[in-house]
Structure 1
Amino acid sequence: MQSHYDAELKDTVRYLGKVLGETIESHLGTEWLERIENIRKSGRASYQGDTSCGDELKETFKTMTDGDLLTVGRAFAQFLNLGNIAEQEYNSAMNVDASIDALFEHLDKAELTVDKVQEAVGKLNIDLVLTAHPTEVTRRTLIHKHKELARCLQEIHQESLSDADRMKLETRIADLISQAWHTEEIRSVRPTPVDEARWGFSVIENSLWEAVPDFMRELDLRLNADYQVSLPLEASPVQFSSWMGGDRDGNPFVTSKVTEQVLLLARKRAAKLFAKDLDRLQVELSMYQCNDALREKVGDSIEPYRAILRPLLQKFVVTRDGINDYIAGRPSNPDAWIASNDELLEPLMLCYDSLTEIGLGVVANGLLLDTIRRANVFGVHLLKLDVRQDSERHANVFSELTRYLGLGDYASWSEADKQAFLLRELASKRPLFPAQWDASDDVKEVLDTCKVIAKHSKHGFGIYIISMASEPSDVMAVQLLLQESGVDWPMPVAPLFETLDDLNNSPDVMRKLLSVDWYRGYIKGRQFVMIGYSDSAKDAGAIAAGWAQYQSQEALVALAKEFDCELTLFHGRGGTIGRGGLPAHAAIYSQPPGSLDGGFRVTEQGETIRYKFGMPKLAKRSLGIYASAIIEAMLFPPPAPKDEWREVITQMAAQGRDNYRGVVRSDPEFVPY
């Protein structure tokens, strides 16, 4: 069976390559097509060891103009894109890595109790943080064409397809390939942070909106079948956050105005998506019978479900259109917008409980259940926006302020003096910032960002991350800035430990921080810490960075237990192996024992978002991989390393660090290479 599908994949790639060739021939002529085909054949022969073909290729490229080389490059890039699309569609159809099946097979063999499984599922908390990345250069218009092409491939592989329908699909495939060939692949203008955020919203709309309830439905069915355990209605085992529009560390284009615009655009997209769901629900829920609770709300209406859903639908339409007017500078009334998840969930749950109570559970557990699950996972804000800023920017605010107030220069104070000042002001009832203070532009921008956080709902935000945090004062400074700006809820503040030294020092920094009585009261038993993979790997090489990350996490888990707080480690992984990425299941299962108890939070960067979550079936599979790995790691935690293992990996890490730095920092050939 597998070989049949492999052959089908190869046939699909050949077919797409043939259509691309016809497109190129139609545009540039037969001579160009033959030239590209000769380059392809020579390249393959050269790769297989034919040196004469390699020499011919070099001579061919030497005689070509830059424009001709660009055409050849585009042809091969387009072919690789088509090959990737075919493979993604093939993986979706094959359900390669049926992770949920593998998980339950493992659980069943272990003969676990229902309570153990229920406890693990109850702790399942996957927070995927969507981030932009400069390596994602594919334009949204091409992403749309690629998605449409994947849909056509999915349909053309149906065995029951008629000849007429096949011809129609082949015409459409040729149309899409031609569109892509005649479209510039690379953006001519660098995307703004708002463009990046819109791209992230589109991934949710086009893929995750469908994939998340499908994933939850499959997990629920398996739990029911094997353990008679159900996912609670309010469960949100996966949630989504974003850095796009909130990550201002080193990016001058992410301003407080951009952050506010992105928050509003996320709410607008959520309103659009929920309006579509509610419109479909109010069409389908035409029944007249209901329970007493719903009847009390709607009176004597003969269509009680429509009577409660139609006003809710209208409110989402008002929200969607109102935000559009607000951003465009037209009159709008924010008080009329949907502001909280309760406004959405209460009517939906009234309908659900009523349908269940009157014996229409099959209706309740259809589209309505999917919408309830979307409400719990995405909410009326669509996702949670993180804010990230460098610790030096916060210190500069207090440095400028203390000089203005004649208190000296905060930047030159000892750590003890900084903490004393911050704690005193955190406990003070009077405002700290003078009304007439004419701060510098950089300081104003930091303060304006905090004011945006104060102005908007806490449900629209994730956590505040501090880059280059090396002392407790770096964290407390942010908490004072938020308090002084009017943020009246304890926004989680996470230090980011990035370099090798940062990772090694992280337990000492966190011990000092958790030893502060005020701070422990502020966090209310929940601490976030971000571990940077990219910078530590670039600083010390992969082996040394990996071992430092492991030891750091291990020490932080022990520290959290000592101070009786729940620790959520936030993994700043890149998309490639060089930036800290690994196969998801192996990467999760290799975490230190106990490090997943507080949930799993990880960045998903740029192009990997599209590869993992760009199509609903791929997204569902990726969510299954994450969920199965985390549940497995909680139920069957990997062993803590033995002392002899630690000795060996410590030696390897030291040698790896020295070898890596010897090349990167000392070898005179490295930079030219």
Structure 2
Amino acid sequence: MSEAPSVDTAAHGIATGSRAVAVSDMPDALRQDVRLLGELLGTVLVESGGEDLLADVERLRELTIRAYTESGTEAFDEAVAFVDSLSLDRGEELARAFTCYFHLVNLAEEFHRIRVLREREDDPTPRAPEDSLAGTIAALREELGEEETRRRVAELEFRPVLTAHPTEARRRAVAACIRRISDLLAERDDPRLTKRALAENRRQLIAEIDTLWRTSPLRLDKPSPLDEVRTAMGVFDETLFTVLPKVYRAVDDLLAEDPDVPHRPVAPAFVRLGSWIGADRDGNPNVTHTITRAAAGIAAEHVLLGLERVATRIGRSLTLDAATTPPSPELDALWNRQRRMAEELTADIAGRSPDEPYRRVMLTIAERIAATRKRDADLAYGSPEELLDDLRVVQDSLAASDPRRAYGDLQSLIWQVETYGFHLAELEVRQHSAVHAKTLAEIDAGGPLSDMSEEVIETFRAIAAVQRRHGVLAARRYIVSFTQDAQDIANVYRLAEIALGTPEDVPVIDAIPLFETFADLQASTDVLDQMLELPQVQARLAQTERRMEVMLGYSDSSKDVGPVSATLALYDAQSRIAEWARRNDITLTLFHGRGGALGRGGGPANRAVLAQPPGSVDGRFKLTEQGEVIFARYGDPVIASRHIEQVAAATLLQATPSIEKRNSDAAREFADVAARLDEASRERFYQLVRAEGFPQWFATVTPQEEVGWLAIGSRPARRGLSVESLEDLRAIPWVFAWTQARINLTGWFGLGTALAAVGDLERLREAYHRWPLFATMIDNVEMSLAKTDTRIAKLYLALGDREDLSQLVLEELELTREWIVRITGQERLLAGHRVLGRAVQLRSPYVDALSLIQLRALRALRAGDADDATDAKLRRVMLLSVNGVAAGLQNTG
């Protein structure tokens, strides 16, 4: 973190231990980047706090590296004692220093990933990876033939839904600074840079790292829902708007006989964005009908402005003379319609575009998009379809004499309109079924409505208003949390009718059941059978060619029965729902409510897709993307392209006969193993969470209460006012708290006991190699365990007074670790995952340092004997450490 040798010393220290990865395993380019950034951070620390600050940082870093790599406890005990000896002010400085280091390492690794992806693209003899679209389409052609491959690609759907669940611990100001540093780091790869340019780049780098150090990592106030909307818009503006047409182009090139010959594209615009941000009101009183309408308006403003700019750019470039590129009669007719619509405007454009029919038509189209954004009724487009009709007239006319221009940038614009419409992302309203029931009870009682019920009614009016302003596709999905009966769905339609009064005013609504708990997953098909009898559902099926969506919750099911039983219950539910859809001639889309952390269904999305039951994907995949996951997957154009490509490839591949047969055969062959895992893991999980006093103990041995202080989201951390019951605690802080305590219990607890109950190592190894669901679960748990730390965990568990529960956790941790290593056949965790292992082991000693700082603050806060000034400092140190651990572990909730 100071001079170059110290960074190598860190790498060497990690490399010498039995738990470590070799220094040579880090690519030279990445090692040089980490060395440079660490050296510059060291310089900033000296300039800010003097040599003593850097010395303290280096002392703690050296102790935690030794403690991580040595088998004894001497270095760890020294590290604890050193942290306890620090002043609170120094503790805060160290917490900030290690957090800055994590941000720098994270961005260096992200940039190296981008570097590798670009090098792969530039490889003159590339071999398409199996998880790429090129590899997948080649495999589809071999197994299914050209015609079936094209049909499946044409029907492909990927629906990422952005949510504002509070798991992104970074401030926007910090994220912006990190992006600037990343851009400067990328500049250094340019071989054309002179020595003077490199020196200037270094000066700018140190200035930005100094800014990162001096910028408070903590938000002073919780963001409002509209703040969260605007944050998401940044991802759209910077990456998604331009990335998706490039992905479609890549697919089209793969399908073309000769991609270098201009041709009418056949690749579909297969991505549709959804958003819960500003629409998800389940337990979040800050999301109101006013917020939902405003969120829709903000999104529309961004997409229309983007479309306007692209159309203007294309129009200005289409300086094609009528003599060389004659317009079609349809283009002339379009121009005449435009002239009648806006004589003064078109006269001005025509004056600037003499004998350039394509330029004048496209510039008028751009003006009409602008008018749509400004709500100029005389000139505005009535719908995206109307705009698409105009663009295709231009395209068809161009194609007759200039197909290269017809199918170039203009086709990208068409794809953008097809993807985003005029609304950008469909707002999906979510509300708890109990809220609907309470509202209807108040209405039926005939008295005045409570504020909550008034808001429910206004929500439906807001949906109607959004549809009138931005189109039906802007907001028609209504997700019912904790759906336990078909009546929960019927209530949504009844409330919509009550809110709007007359049938013609009622908005189009697709009520989507969300099955979350273990019991609800088991009852899902019974509820779906009842839903089919509802007249409103029957009407929507008739209008949508029998398309239906069903959502599955990963978070609450895992909190309900533990990660192992939840994984198996979700697989079983998907299998039964897919079979139910087939019986009822329904085109099913399963919506996966997955989080970033493993305790909430996290992990590599493409592997999760390939492990799904037969018939449950069928070319359509929808999932929630939240918090830090949004920026990790979509924050950079290269990484976003790769992520979308991987998910699309897996979605196409999952429904092939070979993959479906593999999954169904494995499910049958290992059904007995699944049953034993389910029974044993659930019993073990219940032994812990159903123990008397467990909720209070959990709140004591983790920073559960303190996590709620973080201003990282508009949503409250729990539904009630206490932790008397885990049912009132939201799944995200449940996961976040265990992660901060370095126990990660939500990702693995119960698996060790379940594997031991099966007992047959060879049978389990066979399952690992032949059963995709089991292999994915084992690999995800392996990653979760690699981020745990028994020594740190013991210190957190010591905060409570329940030795029985602490021993239960530690015994299960050791048992799970032992069985994972035996099943994978590796000498240690993550030995078979080189890149991931390197990332975890590079960070772990530094996370340990922050954990020790957090523990010191937590103990003092729990003692409750500090004066107001000291208490304020303790709280700040606590929150800084939470922020830093989140940055180091790279997933929170």
Report if TM-score (shorter chain) is over 0.5. yes
**C-alpha distance in structure 1 between counterparts of 2:673 and 2:563, whole Å:** 16
- Which residue of 217, 220, 224 maps to 1:192? 224
User: Alpha carbons of 1:229 and 1:106: their partners in 2 closer, same or farther (altered >3 Å)?
Assistant: farther
Q: What's the counterpart of residue 33 of structure 2? A: 12
Aligned residue identity for 1:141: A
- Confirm or deny that 1:58 pairs with 2:58: no
Q: 1:269-418 maps to which residues of 2 (within 5 A)?
A: 269-288=302-321, 289=325, 290-298=327-335, 302-320=355-373, 338-358=381-401, 360-404=402-446
Aligned residue identity for 1:356: A
- Which residue of 100, 113, 119 maps to 2:133? 100
- Confirm or deny that 1:661 pairs with 2:686: yes
User: Is residue 371–residue 377 contact of structure 2 (8 Å, CA) maintained in 1?
Assistant: no
What value does the CA root-mean-square deviation take over the aligned residues? 2.5
User: Alpha carbons of 1:440 and 1:238: their partners in 2 closer, same or farther (altered >3 Å)?
Assistant: same
User: Alpha carbons of 1:377 and 1:649: their partners in 2 closer, same or farther (altered >3 Å)?
Assistant: same
Q: What's the counterpart of residue 633 of structure 1? A: 654
Q: What's the counterpart of residue 532 of structure 2? A: 514
1:625-651 Cα distance to aligned partner (Å, 9 max, x none)? 101101111224333145442222012
User: Is residue 493–residue 536 contact of structure 2 (8 Å, CA) maintained in 1?
Assistant: no
**C-alpha distance in structure 1 between counterparts of 2:567 and 2:265, whole Å:** 37
1:612-667 Cα distance to aligned partner (Å, 9 max, x none)? 11100010000011011011112243331454422220121111111112112217
Give the secondary structure class of the aligned counterpart of 1:483: helix
Give the secondary structure class of the aligned counterpart of 1:638: helix
User: Alpha carbons of 1:470 and 1:374: their partners in 2 closer, same or farther (altered >3 Å)?
Assistant: same
Q: What's the counterpart of residue 465 of structure 2? A: 455
Aligned residue identity for 1:461: A
Deviates more, 1:218-227 or 1:364-373: 218-227
User: Alpha carbons of 1:511 and 1:225: their partners in 2 closer, same or farther (altered >3 Å)?
Assistant: same
**C-alpha distance in structure 1 between counterparts of 2:112 and 2:445, whole Å:** 64
User: Is residue 194–residue 258 contact of structure 1 (8 Å, CA) maintained in 2?
Assistant: yes
- Give the CA deviation at 1:59: 2.0
- Give the CA deviation at 1:517: 5.3
- Give the CA deviation at 1:230: 8.5
**C-alpha distance in structure 2 between counterparts of 1:366 and 1:51, whole Å:** 64
User: Is residue 262–residue 407 contact of structure 2 (8 Å, CA) maintained in 1?
Assistant: no
Q: What's the counterpart of residue 478 of structure 2? A: 464
Aligned residue identity for 2:79: L
1:379-408 Cα distance to aligned partner (Å, 9 max, x none)? 21111100001112212222122221xxxx
User: Alpha carbons of 1:522 and 1:297: their partners in 2 closer, same or farther (altered >3 Å)?
Assistant: closer
Aligned residue identity for 1:381: H
Structure 1: state its 5+ residue gaps: 323-332, 405-436
Aligned residue identity for 1:295: D
- Give the CA deviation at 1:451: 0.6
Q: 1:595-606 maps to which residues of 2 (within 5 A)?
A: 595-597=616-618, 599-606=620-627
Give the secondary structure class of the aligned counterpart of 1:529: strand
- Which residue of 593, 599, 615 maps to 1:594? 615
User: Alpha carbons of 1:642 and 1:499: their partners in 2 closer, same or farther (altered >3 Å)?
Assistant: closer
- Which residue of 266, 270, 289 maps to 1:256? 289
**C-alpha distance in structure 1 between counterparts of 2:587 and 2:140, whole Å:** 26
- Confirm or deny that 1:582 pairs with 2:603: yes
**C-alpha distance in structure 2 between counterparts of 1:63 and 1:144, whole Å:** 35
Q: How many residues matched?
A: 628
1:282-315 Cα distance to aligned partner (Å, 9 max, x none)? 2211112322211222258622222222233234
Give the secondary structure class of the aligned counterpart of 1:571: strand
**C-alpha distance in structure 1 between counterparts of 2:608 and 2:464, whole Å:** 37
- Confirm or deny that 1:119 pairs with 2:181: no
Deviates more, 1:204-213 or 1:300-309: 300-309
User: Alpha carbons of 1:393 and 1:159: their partners in 2 closer, same or farther (altered >3 Å)?
Assistant: same
- Confirm or deny that 1:217 pairs with 2:249: yes
Give the secondary structure class of the aligned counterpart of 2:550: strand
Deviates more, 1:224-233 or 1:462-471: 224-233
- Give the CA deviation at 1:321: 5.2
- Confirm or deny that 1:267 pairs with 2:289: no
Structure 2: state its 5+ residue gaps: 1-22, 121-128, 337-349, 702-893
- Give the CA deviation at 1:586: 1.3
Give the secondary structure class of the aligned counterpart of 2:27: helix
Give the secondary structure class of the aligned counterpart of 1:188: coil
Give the secondary structure class of the aligned counterpart of 2:614: coil
- Confirm or deny that 1:147 pairs with 2:161: no
User: Is residue 590–residue 638 contact of structure 1 (8 Å, CA) maintained in 2?
Assistant: no
Aligned residue identity for 1:202: G
**C-alpha distance in structure 1 between counterparts of 2:554 and 2:247, whole Å:** 29
- Give the CA deviation at 1:134: 1.5
**C-alpha distance in structure 2 between counterparts of 1:231 and 1:554, whole Å:** 39
Give the secondary structure class of the aligned counterpart of 1:238: coil
User: Is residue 281–residue 430 contact of structure 2 (8 Å, CA) maintained in 1?
Assistant: yes
Aligned residue identity for 2:531: L
Give the secondary structure class of the aligned counterpart of 2:229: helix
Q: What's the counterpart of residue 42 of structure 1? A: 63
User: Is residue 167–residue 626 contact of structure 2 (8 Å, CA) maintained in 1?
Assistant: no
- Confirm or deny that 1:86 pairs with 2:111: no
**C-alpha distance in structure 2 between counterparts of 1:266 and 1:86, whole Å:** 32
Give the secondary structure class of the aligned counterpart of 1:456: helix
- Give the CA deviation at 1:24: 1.5
**C-alpha distance in structure 1 between counterparts of 2:165 and 2:112, whole Å:** 27
- Which residue of 595, 605, 612 maps to 2:633? 612
Superposition TM-score, scaled by structure 1 size: 0.88
Q: What's the counterpart of residue 566 of structure 1? A: 587
- Give the CA deviation at 1:129: 0.2
Give the secondary structure class of the aligned counterpart of 2:480: strand
- Give the CA deviation at 1:560: 1.2
User: Is residue 118–residue 229 contact of structure 1 (8 Å, CA) maintained in 2?
Assistant: no
Q: What's the counterpart of residue 417 of structure 1? A: none
Aligned residue identity for 1:593: P
User: Alpha carbons of 1:382 and 1:28: their partners in 2 closer, same or farther (altered >3 Å)?
Assistant: same
Deviates more, 1:526-535 or 1:224-233: 224-233
- Confirm or deny that 1:77 pairs with 2:87: no
- Which residue of 467, 473, 488 maps to 2:487? 473
User: Alpha carbons of 1:398 and 1:662: their partners in 2 closer, same or farther (altered >3 Å)?
Assistant: same
User: Is residue 262–residue 403 contact of structure 2 (8 Å, CA) maintained in 1?
Assistant: no
Aligned residue identity for 2:269: S
User: Alpha carbons of 1:233 and 1:315: their partners in 2 closer, same or farther (altered >3 Å)?
Assistant: farther
**C-alpha distance in structure 1 between counterparts of 2:68 and 2:692, whole Å:** 30
Superposition TM-score, scaled by structure 2 size: 0.67
- Confirm or deny that 1:646 pairs with 2:671: yes
- Give the CA deviation at 1:600: 1.1
- Confirm or deny that 1:175 pairs with 2:207: yes
- Give the CA deviation at 1:233: 6.1
Q: What's the counterpart of residue 720 of structure 2? A: none
**C-alpha distance in structure 2 between counterparts of 1:563 and 1:356, whole Å:** 44
User: Is residue 581–residue 588 contact of structure 2 (8 Å, CA) maintained in 1?
Assistant: yes
Q: 1:414-433 maps to which residues of 2 (within 5 A)?
A: none
1:134-165 Cα distance to aligned partner (Å, 9 max, x none)? 12121222222222222222221123332233
- Confirm or deny that 1:133 pairs with 2:186: no
Q: What's the counterpart of residue 492 of structure 1? A: 510
**C-alpha distance in structure 1 between counterparts of 2:262 and 2:255, whole Å:** 5
**C-alpha distance in structure 2 between counterparts of 1:169 and 1:105, whole Å:** 43
Identity rate, percent: 30
Deviates more, 1:447-456 or 1:613-622: 447-456
Aligned residue identity for 1:353: D
- Give the CA deviation at 1:668: 5.7
1:419-445 Cα distance to aligned partner (Å, 9 max, x none)? xxxxxxxxxxxxxxxxxx843322111
**C-alpha distance in structure 2 between counterparts of 1:481 and 1:127, whole Å:** 27
User: Alpha carbons of 1:366 and 1:232: their partners in 2 closer, same or farther (altered >3 Å)?
Assistant: closer
Give the secondary structure class of the aligned counterpart of 2:463: helix
- Which residue of 231, 236, 239 maps to 2:272? 239
- Give the CA deviation at 1:251: 0.4
